[in-house]
Amino acid sequence: MDTQTRTAVIFNPRAAHGRTGKLYAKIRSQVEAIIPGADWRVTEYPGHATQATRSALWSGYNRIISVGGDGTHYETLNGFFEGQQLINPNATLAILPFGTGSDLARSLGIPRKWASLPVIPQGRVVPLDVIRVTCVDWKGMPFSCHLLNTSRVGIGGEVVWRVNRKTKVWGGFFTYLRGSIEALFSYTSRPMRIRINEEIWEDTFLEIILANGRFDGGGMKVAPGARMDDGLLDIYLIRPVSLVDALTSFRLLYQGRLDARPDVVTFLRGSQVAITAAEPVKINVDGESPGTTPVTFDVLPRILPVVVGPGFQPQS
């Protein structure tokens, strides 16, 4: 191991409905076999991974390994920032996906669970785009956070808000599939105004998908062409459809074929996005529910070194 690399491990025992915690001793043993001397920090409450990451970076650790699910990785990512600035621009993020959905791992080309262990010493380190999100939190106050993977505004925000309040014992695919189908029966599309760079779109939308990575929703291939190092978000504006149409077209989300419905889907790219609505619309950020519209997204190009796997698709 490079003697200049100091590693801290952020471990969430509650990931995967508590199953990850039962594997703590085995995971730690296998990680220490390839990365001896790492400092282990076990999270105890929501937001703890962010605090633990910040503390580790301020203490001089320059490689942070996040062990858990997408929620753990989201918190760990946000710990790299103090306000709007990176604590250490040279510090590297690595993930071991032991969670429910593991969509960030899919986007990074990293295999799940035990197969991800060799990626840390063998994988490439690539500077990736990070997206700064500014929205309104559940108390009506301005809130800022960062994402690596995807965000949804509209029904996707509703789905994650519901899913995160229920058990995920059935795993990512079935949990998000069930949540999505339930939401289709009750969600009402909203009039929204979207500014993408200098272009304005106003219409009633079922949802807006903003993708830095390719996967979300427990395996949905929402943005097959998205690249995490090109300085741009892949953006899908999705207009309302009937319930029957939505259910029959749902497979397109998993197949990466939203472009098969140009009658209701508009595809765009941009580096700055602002979304407003007359009534608050729920958003999700890397599988978390920070709040509602109004919301802005700003791409911070190639700002964070991240360990990627063999399946990672870089900018060509």
Residue 131: CB atoms within 10 Å: 24
Residue 20 sits in the same domain as residue 76:
yes
Residue 90 sits in the same domain as residue 206:
no
Which of 54, 75, 99 represents a domain boundary (last residue)? 99
10, 90, 294 from 52: Cα distances, Å: 7, 18, 30
Residue 95 sits in the same domain as residue 135:
no
Residue 171 gets the label, from left (phi > 0), alpha (psi -120 to 50) or beta, of left
Residue 316 lies in a domain: no
* Residue 291 contacts residue 137 (beta carbons within 8 Å): yes
pTM of the model: 0.92
| Tally of domains in the chain | 2
CATH code, domain with 61: 3.40.50.10330
Residue 149 lies in a domain: yes
Q: Which residues pair with 220 in a beta bridge?
A: 216
* pLDDT for 17: 84
Residue whose pair of structure tokens reads 């190639």 in the numeric block: 302
* pLDDT for 182: 77
Residue 170 lies in a domain: yes
* pLDDT for 173: 60
CA pseudo-torsion sign 225, 229, 232, 237: positive
Residue 205 lies in a domain: yes
Residue 261 sits in the same domain as residue 181:
yes
Residue-number span of the structural domain to which 154 is assigned: 131-301
Dump pLDDT digits (tens) for 173-213: 666 667 677 777 778 999 999 999 999 999 999 999 999 99
* pLDDT for 1: 40
80, 115, 126, 157, 210 from 66: Cα distances, Å: 12, 15, 17, 24, 24
pLDDT mean values, one per 10 residues, the chain (316 residues): 80 93 97 96 97 98 97 97 95 95 94 95 94 97 98 89 62 65 82 97 97 92 96 97 86 89 96 97 95 98 97 82
Residue 119 lies in a domain: no
Alpha helices in the chain (DSSP H): 24-34, 48-58, 70-79, 103-107, 119-122, 155-163, 172-186, 243-249, 251-255
Q: Which residues pair with 66 in a beta bridge?
A: 10, 95
